Amino acid sequence: MSVCHSEFIDALLDPQKPVPNGLASRNGGTAKRFAVYRNKFAVSLTEALEAQFPVIRKLVGDEFFKAMAGVYLRRHPPESPILSKFGNRMPEFLSDFEPVEHLPYLPDVARLETLIRESFYSKDSSSISNETLRSLRPADFLESRIIIAPSARTIQSRFPIFGIWRANARGEGNPTNRPEEALVARRQFDPELYLLPDGGCEFMRLLASGHRVSEAADLAAARRPDFKLDQILALVLSSGAATELEPIKHNSGERTLKCG
């Protein structure tokens, strides 16, 4: 009798199900032999998740993480062979996973670890050079557009997301008890995490949607009176989060186009 792939997969995902009929061995028994496939599937994907979510793993403990990964990988098996994207549904999974209800910040931590991974695999770009920055008058700089690097990501959380990450990933500091915003950016290949001053996410979103520095700053300050442009700009420019400047052209009134 033939073994269809749906039946094979049903048994692969559920160790309680019997080995599909039509599979055989020289001695007759098939259970331990079929278990080789079940193990490879579960163990390799659990290892992939462990590598992708080191902070979640630290927060819930190794044993719990393994058990939780077993549930995740059966509920959300990878959608493609690109395993770097396999964990992308972890934030929504954790939101609905009852055993971690008492850790309400976990989905945001998973979102952050997903952004760090995305940054690691994203397109390379160069930072804006100091010469470029020095060559611009401050007034012209404020009228420029900043192109955000493909590897830059921001996250806004109602939890102290930066502090939680730093304490667990680096063993540094203690998390505060206030909401935090953070920036993930790469100078070369290694994503770094930075605490963004309040309003930083909104400001970067405005820059990314094409607003000039001055416009983005005005809009962000209108929403947050304590918005600190200097601090945020220093971080955006030094972290690798900005890749190009499009200065305004005075003579023609047209802006120069540069590829980001």
Partner 1 sequence: MLDDRRALEIVLPKEPGVGFKHLHFEDLLNDRGCVSWLEIHAENYMSDGGRKIAQLNRLRQDFPISCHGVGLSIGGENPLSKDHLNRLEALVSWLEPASFSEHLAWSSHGGSYFNDLLPVPYTKAALQRVCEHIDEVQNILGRTMLLENPSTYLVFEESEMTEIEFISDISRRTGCGLLLDVNNVFVSSTNHSVNPYWYIDEFPLHSVGEIHLGGHAEDSDDEGALLLIDNHGSEVAEPVWDLYEHVLRGAGALPTLIEWDSDVPEWKILEAEADRAFRLMNIVQDEYVGLP
- Interface with partner 1 by CB under 8 A: which residues? 1-6, 8-9, 12, 22-34, 36-37, 40-41, 44-45, 48, 77-84, 120-124, 150-151, 189-190
Least distance (Å) between residue 216 CB and partner 1? 26
In angstroms, how far is CA 61 from the centroid of its own chain? 21
Rounded to whole angstroms, what are the CA distances from 256 to 40, 68, 130, 152, 253? 54, 51, 19, 23, 10
Q: Which is nearer to partner 1, 101 or 124 (CB)?
A: 124
Please, which residue, 43 or 169, has the CB nearer to partner 1?
43
* Residue 110 C-alpha from the chain's centroid: 8
Using the minimum distance from each CB to partner 1, give the nearer residue, 24 or 133: 24
Nearest distance in Å: CB 188, partner 1: 8
1 vs 139, beta carbon nearer partner 1: 1
The least CB distance from residue 14 to partner 1, in Å, is 13
Euclidean distance between CA atoms 43 and 56, whole angstroms: 18
Give min distance, CB of 54 to partner 1, in A.
17
Tokens of residue 183, six digits:
């920036």
Toward partner 1, which CB reaches closer, 46 or 154?
46
User: With respect to partner 1, which residue has the nearer C-beta, 83 or 169?
Assistant: 83
Q: How far is the CB of 38 from partner 1 (least distance, A)?
A: 9
End-to-end C-alpha distance for the chain, whole angstroms: 58
Q: Which alpha helices (H) appear in 105-190, and where do they start and end?
A: 106-121, 130-135, 138-142, 161-165
Give me 72's structure tokens.
């995740």
Least separation in angstroms between CB 127 and partner 1: 14
Q: What's 256's DSSP letter?
A: P
Interior angle at CA 76, CA 33 and CA 184, nearest 5 = 125
Q: Considering beta carbons, is residue 189 or 230 the nearer one to partner 1?
A: 189
Task: Provide, rounded to whole angstroms, the least separation between the CB of residue 249 and partner 1.
Answer: 30
Instruction: Label residue 49 exposed, middle or buried (CB < 10 Å: 0-12, 13-18, 19+).
Output: buried
Place of tokens 């998740």: 49
Q: How far apart are the C-alpha atoms of 106 and 85, rounded to whole Å?
A: 19
Token pair 């996410």: residue: 201
